[in-house]
A and B are shown apart, each in its own frame.
Chain A
Amino acid sequence: MAFRALIAAAALFAFVPAAYADDPRAKAKEQVEFGIMSAQSGLWKEAAFRWEKAVQIYPTYPKAWNNLAIAYEQQGNFEEARKAYEKALQLDPKNLMIRQNYDLFKEINDRAKRRHDR
């Protein structure tokens, strides 16, 4: 069912105006939005793929890095998640939502690390 929804979303994105084609930020945003819909449908691998693509297209897009970090976290890829959060904060240090996500991530990551070191 989630997959069908994603196909419908892909169809909607096919109608994105051609003016966006040359603007890397707009292209990256498109990937970010598609990634959000994938994540909301529980398709986290697809979401991660979209956000990876977004940061490739537009590497200074902090929101894309934030979302990518969340996808990595959901997949248990803590090291990559940490790097992505740090990149997001480096690009937008005043963003409280990114900061909050990072703090929550750190709490779990530290707990997992402590257990591992024990």
Chain B
Amino acid sequence: MTARSAATIASFVLICGTAACTNFYEIPIETPIQPKMDVSAFQRVLIAGFIGGGTDDVDANLETVRLLRSQLRSKSNLRIIEAEVLPLANIAAGQANRDRIAPVPPLNGAADGQQSAPEVEKESRIRNEKDLEKLQGIFADVAFWKKLGEEYQNPLIVTGTVLFTPQQTAGFVMQEREIYDQFGRRRVVPTRTYMERKGFVLSPKFIFIDGRTGTILYTEKFQEGVLYSAQTNTPALSSYFELMDKLVPSFLNTLSTQKVKGTRVLLK
């Protein structure tokens, strides 16, 4: 008997011994959550670009593409296409402008939109949902996405909108305050305090497009916010990552099985 197998049996006897004394056992479990989309038809994914807006401190398009690519690289079986990030806001604004001036069929597609981008750069500043709405037509432009799909051998295309906006509030909040009585004993008392707070709201909408047909397969919208005390100076980029961190598991679960960790009690 090797030392290793002796240790195994010894630990097992220990488990048996403990088991004899107790009637319940807490056990960690990992519950697999099935992916929301069937992506078996795709081997590759193109995180194309997003219509980003809100604050100027964070390039929501570039940062979202980089983050999602790196997450998918390590947490999914799909191969990530490393392509230039599309300036989707400019392309969409170009298309919207062109359609407004002289309606043309959307078949003229991606290339045309890109050429007119500099002219519309000013107009494509997106501050809120209303600004975004004007540009959403691009997601229904089947020809544009099909052409892009052909360019990259028909992958699954991920696109959408990302709005990252500053927020500010003022009002009463509940806070816990430490107090010490005359005997030096510590107590924590909830108190209502007036506070000015600032932070950010992140509202991404992920759109999954079939690169073979250019049609939308699945859409998912999220919203997360964070508030800090007005005295705290948190960089916008840190807040962006803090909020994205909460959304990424859900995004990943669209494409691949995710495991939710928890504990349960086994009974004897």
* Residues of chain A whose beta carbon lies under 8 Å from any beta carbon of chain B: 1, 4-5, 8-9, 12, 29, 32-33, 36-37, 39-40, 62-63, 66-67, 70, 73-76, 95, 97-98, 100-101, 104-105, 108, 111-112, 115-116, 118
In the assembled complex, the Cα of A97 lies from the Cα of B25 at a distance in Å of 11
User: In the assembled complex, which residues on chain B have CB atoms less than 8 Å from the CB atom of A118?
Assistant: 36, 220
User: In the assembled complex, which residues on chain B have CB atoms less than 8 Å from the CB atom of A39?
Assistant: 27, 266
The answer, yes or no, to whether B167 is at the interface (CB within 8 Å) is no
Out of B5, B11, B27, B34, which one reaches A70, CB within 8 Å?
Answer: B27
- Which residue, of B4, B24, B29, B260, has the highest number of chain A Cβ atoms within 10 A? B29
Which 3 A-B pairs rank lowest in CB-CB distance, beginning with the nearest? A63-B267, A76-B32, A5-B12
Out of A67, A100, A111, which one reaches B266, CB within 8 Å?
Answer: A67
Task: Tell whether, in the assembled complex, residue A36 and residue B16 are in contact, meaning their CB atoms are under 8 Å apart.
Answer: no
Task: Tell whether, in the assembled complex, residue B29 and residue A40 are in contact, meaning their CB atoms are under 8 Å apart.
Answer: no
Task: Tell whether, in the assembled complex, residue A32 and residue B268 are in contact, meaning their CB atoms are under 8 Å apart.
Answer: yes
In the assembled complex, the Cα of A76 lies from the Cα of B33 at a distance in Å of 7
Contacting A at CB under 8 A, from B11-31, are 11-13, 15-16, 19, 24-25, 27, 29-31
Out of A4, A9, A101, which one reaches B16, CB within 8 Å?
Answer: A9
Q: How many residues of B contact A (CB 8 A)?
A: 31
Task: Tell whether, in the assembled complex, residue B260 and residue A108 are in contact, meaning their CB atoms are under 8 Å apart.
Answer: yes
Asked whether A101 and B264 contact (CB < 8 A) given A9-B16, A37-B19, A76-B32, the answer is yes
The residue in chain B whose Cβ has the minimal distance to the Cβ of A81 is B31
Q: Give the Cβ gap from A92 to chain B, nearest Cβ, in Å.
A: 9
The residue in chain A whose Cβ has the minimal distance to the Cβ of B265 is A97
Task: Tell whether, in the assembled complex, residue B264 and residue A70 are in contact, meaning their CB atoms are under 8 Å apart.
Answer: yes
Asked whether A66 and B9 contact (CB < 8 A) given A39-B27, A76-B34, A104-B262, the answer is no
The answer, yes or no, to whether B253 is at the interface (CB within 8 Å) is yes
A sample of 4 more A-B contacts (CB under 8 A), given A66-B266, A74-B31, is: A1-B4, A36-B266, A39-B27, A104-B262
Asked whether A33 and B19 contact (CB < 8 A) given A76-B31, A101-B265, A112-B34, the answer is yes
In the assembled complex, the Cα of A63 lies from the Cα of B265 at a distance in Å of 10
Asked whether A73 and B31 contact (CB < 8 A) given A5-B11, A37-B15, the answer is yes
In the assembled complex, the Cα of A105 lies from the Cα of B12 at a distance in Å of 29
Q: Is the interface of A mostly helix, strand, loop or mixed?
A: helix
User: In the assembled complex, which residues on chain B have CB atoms less than 8 Å from the CB atom of A4?
Assistant: 5, 8-9
Contacting A at CB under 8 A, from B227-242, are none
- B 30-62 binary contact with A (CB < 8 Å = 1; else 0): 111110100000000000000000000000000
Task: Tell whether, in the assembled complex, residue A97 and residue B220 are in contact, meaning their CB atoms are under 8 Å apart.
Answer: no
Out of A5, A74, A108, which one reaches B33, CB within 8 Å?
Answer: A108
In the assembled complex, the Cα of A47 lies from the Cα of B15 at a distance in Å of 15
Task: Tell whether, in the assembled complex, residue A8 and residue B8 are in contact, meaning their CB atoms are under 8 Å apart.
Answer: yes
In the assembled complex, the Cα of A43 lies from the Cα of B135 at a distance in Å of 52
The 24 sampled A-B contact pairs (Cβ below 8 Å) are A1-B4, A1-B8, A8-B9, A36-B266, A37-B16, A39-B266, A40-B25, A66-B267, A70-B29, A70-B264, A73-B29, A73-B264, A74-B29, A74-B30, A76-B32, A76-B34, A98-B267, A101-B265, A104-B262, A112-B34, A115-B36, A115-B250, A115-B253, A116-B34
